[in-house]
Chains A and B, each alone.
Chain A
Amino acid sequence: MNRVSNALLNLRQMDDLACKDTPIHRIHPLAKIVVTLAFLVTVVSFGKYDISGLLGLVFFPVILMALSELPGKVMLKRLLVLEPIVVGIGLFSPFFDPREMIFFGLTISAGWATFLSILIKGTLTISAGLLLIATTGIDRVAEGLRMLKIPKILVLQILLTYRYILVLIEELSRMTRAYFLRAPSDHGIRRDAWGSFAGQLLLRTYDRAQRIYISMSLRGFTGEYHCGKNRPMRGGDWVYLLGWCGFFALARWMPLAQLLSLGLKGVMNP
């Protein structure tokens, strides 16, 4: 099953990327989470026809990507896989808003402007999310969430779910392989096996959860999940946090692309 192995590959790849040691990886997770959220809020706060303002925000993912030494090809591929969803929703716009408007001096329909802005927003927001996890890793994101006062039980829940996704997906891939070896002409699980197939996986999961609980108890689990030492925010982290937030505010109130275009015009028409 392609979906299954793809998911496994994706998770492992993200884990590997998060293990790198670059200036961005070393930033405190709390600073990275807050900056990412500030970025997302800035991106989505632009109106549906505002394209030139959005372009200025491209600097954030691109610079982060370069500083964190993430492989461009891998990240681009992850981004492109998700793009069709955004394109699909955005494509409706041109049909419903044929009013003409001027965009960067070109006359286009307002619907296409919306489409473009949705496309750019989609690309920016998805890449920001991927960059956060690829430079931080789930354990450190959890550490940041704890510092944001997200309840222990929920953070623990997220960590445990993540930990066992890999195990269960492997179990699932064994089960599907066995199923499709016996029924090679099937494209999916047959109706009469729906319950027993997923149910089997569920029962195995239950038993596994029980074993996990027993072994956790034996090792002294009392509801606390320790994930190493939490270091406090240092000067560099604050610079990162405030620097980017300042940049977002600048990009929000000043259309950078427009300024550049005006500058260009100044050069061309002295």
Chain B
Amino acid sequence: MHMADALLSPTVGGAMMVVTIGVAAYSIKKIQKNPDPDESKVPLMGVMGAFVFAAQMINFSIPGTGSSGHLGGGLLLSILLGPCAGFLTMASVLLIQALFFGDGGLLAYGANVFNMGFVACFIAYPLIYKPFVRKGITPKRILVGSILAAVIGLQLGSFSVVLETLISGKTQLPFGTFVLFMQPIHLAIGLVEGFVTAAVVGYVWKARPELMDYPGKVAGTSSVSMKRVLLVLVVCVVMMGTALSLLASSSPDGLEWSIGHVTGGGSLMSGGAIYDFFARLQQKIALFPDYQFKSGDSPGGTSFSGVAGGLLTLILAGGIAVAIRGFSRKKKGSQLK
């Protein structure tokens, strides 16, 4: 469910980043304001982030099928640490994944934290899981609550991936096809997530029940008011709406406009004054003495020089790299002498 940068527009990426920063700021405040300030929370959060990272690598074989599933961890973190600490921990795990493994882009970071962190910690956990265990923890309640929370959380998360991709408009995937593709897959993933989360929480509850109420006590899970959650949601919806309307007005008609950009032929209309300036500048450079827009080019010639121009860019970039390498090696060689 990690989104790549290539599928997002800057507006959507930026809007989601703002939402994520807002939720993070709220969470940080909540943790710092805790009536029972306990610094051990910070190391605990850090080490739990590392745990989720490691646990995501465990292959859980799914009975009846030859395949295996993995853990996402958002729900587990919020059950064990509370929603605010869970959210911050998930955010740091996602940043490390994006930086070191390229799992999800850096611009898409806000969107990813929202889809996997916010949805799990501030929607699935307080609104679905918690009502099940409010009257007391039993293995059955943990199981039902975890499965429902994980499935609904992943459905919401994957649906928000679909929305963010569509609003960005970087692919032609039709809404229906994309939804039909994403939702069933994430139903299966959600089921695995729910069962694994239930198994782990059930085990911890049996082996070390004191850990289960410890996080509740410290994180102040019960003090996250519905009002706050709803407020955050409303802010998010407004943000998404703003992003959508901004986008709708900034690109009136994508296709006609951008085809003008890609064609290598004579119908160049990009750039305006700056472009004209550089075109004139280029005419003056001795290497290309007779440069001009030729509308009557033979198609063969146009396509050849067009493709060659693209290749030339790559070769030039590569050439510069080789030159830099060669130069620095020479410099090192002479230093050794």
Contacts and interface: CB of A to CB of B under 8 A. Distances in A.
Pairing of A with B: yes
Interface of A: 1, 3-4, 7, 10-11, 14, 22, 36-37, 40-41, 43-45, 47-53, 55-56, 58-59, 62-63, 65-67, 69, 78-79, 82, 85-86, 89-90, 92-93, 96-97, 99, 101-106, 110-111, 113-114, 117-119, 121-122, 125-126, 128-130, 132-133, 138, 141, 151, 153-154, 156-165, 167-169, 171-172, 176, 186-191, 194-203, 205-206, 208-210, 212-213, 216-217, 221-223, 253-270
Contacts of B259: 49, 101-102
20 contacts: A40-B106, A48-B171, A82-B101, A96-B174, A103-B263, A104-B309, A105-B265, A118-B6, A151-B24, A153-B28, A161-B47, A161-B96, A176-B58, A203-B204, A205-B47, A209-B44, A259-B309, A263-B282, A263-B291, A266-B288
Interface in B74-111: 80, 88-89, 91-93, 95-96, 98-103, 105-107
Interface in B258-314: 258-259, 261-265, 268, 270-271, 274-275, 278-279, 282, 287-294, 297, 299, 301-310, 312-314
Given A48-B172, A129-B106, A189 B58 contact: yes
Interface residues of B, number: 124
Interface stretch (B118-126, B147-155, B216-224, B320-328): B320-328
B32 interface: yes
Interface of B: 4-10, 13, 24-25, 28, 31-32, 39-40, 42-51, 53-55, 57-63, 66, 68, 71, 80, 88-89, 91-93, 95-96, 98-103, 105-107, 169-174, 177, 195-196, 198-200, 202-204, 207-208, 211, 251, 254-255, 257-259, 261-265, 268, 270-271, 274-275, 278-279, 282, 287-294, 297, 299, 301-310, 312-314, 316-318, 320-322, 324-325, 328
A47 B261 contact: yes
Contacts of A199: 199-200, 203-204, 207
A261 B43 contact: no
A266 B312 CA distance: 14
Contact of B171 (A65, A114, A128, A216): A114
A132 B42 CA distance: 26
A49 B255 contact: yes
A223 B251 CA distance: 47
B170 A118 contact: yes
Nearest to B211: A206
Contacts of B103: 82
A-B pairs, 8 with minimum CB distance: A261-B309, A160-B46, A188-B61, A105-B303, A266-B291, A199-B203, A195-B199, A104-B306
A76 to B, nearest CB: 13
A266 B172 contact: no
B35 to A, nearest CB: 17
B172 A203 contact: no
Contacts of B58: 172, 176, 188-189, 197-198
By secondary structure, the B interface counts as helix
Given A161-B47, A198-B203, A270-B289, 7 more contacts: A99-B255, A126-B102, A129-B102, A162-B96, A188-B61, A190-B61, A195-B200
A52 B260 CA distance: 11
A101 B310 contact: no
A212 B41 CA distance: 11
A256 B192 CA distance: 48
Choose among B102, B174, B255, B274 the residue with the greatest number of A CB atoms under 10 Å from its CB.
Answer: B102
Nearest to B195: A194
By secondary structure, the A interface counts as helix
Contacts of B13: 44
A213 to B, nearest CB: 4
Contacts of B275: 253-254
A104 B39 CA distance: 60
Contacts of B304: 105
Contacts of B172: 48, 92-93, 96-97, 110-111, 114
Contacts of B299: 105
Choose among A40, A85, A153 the residue with the greatest number of B CB atoms under 10 Å from its CB.
Answer: A153
Contacts of B25: 151
B309 A44 contact: no
A3 B57 contact: yes
Contacts of B5: 40, 43-44, 121-122, 125-126
